[in-house]
Amino acid sequence: MLVVCGGSADAEVLSELGFGRVLITNIDPSYDEEIDAYPCVRADAENLAFRDGEFDLVIVHAGLHHCASPHRALLEMYRVAKKAAIVLEARESLLMRLAVRLGFTNDFELESVTSHGLESGGMRNGPIPNLN
């Protein structure tokens, strides 16, 4: 299994569920030290350096909205997946759009960037906040 835009929460959940062969990728090198349950490598979700159909399953959880081109990242996931690509992206839901419209949350994911000292956490892990 390949996890793109992955982090320690992904590793923890997959480990608790008993998944054995998992490779976690992220563009941010700081995740290399955070994740010890599985191998973690630096990889750009929009340009994966893996062969076509190399992984049975490819997943992303709350990561596509960090990409400059979420569509390109999704196409890359499809390319390297042999059986399935699974996307869990709560930011692109009807409930989130309603929350923005009612003023319960921002159009942009500002808190992700502010919690990283205005240096990272946004689009492509840079200082530009992601669109919700």
The pTM for the full model equals: 0.79
41 and 59 share a domain? yes
84 and 100 share a domain? no
77 and 105 share a domain? no
Residue 103's pLDDT is 85
Residue 10's pLDDT is 94
Residue 1's pLDDT is 97
Average pLDDT over residues 97-113: 76
Mean predicted lDDT score pLDDT of the chain: 85
Asked if pLDDT for residue 12 goes beyond 90, the answer is yes
The 3 state secondary structure assigned to 72-124 is: HHHHHHHHHEEEEEEEECHHHCHHHHHHHHCCCCCCECHHHHHCCCCCCCCHH
Name the residue with higher pLDDT: 43 or 96: 43
Residue 108's pLDDT is 63
Q: 107: closest CA among 91, 122, 120, 118?
A: 91
76 and 106 share a domain? no
**Looking at residue 33, which CATH number applies to its domain?**
3.40.50.150
Domain residue limits at 17: 2-91
Give the total number of structural domains in the chain. Answer: 2
Q: What is the DSSP letter of 44?
A: -
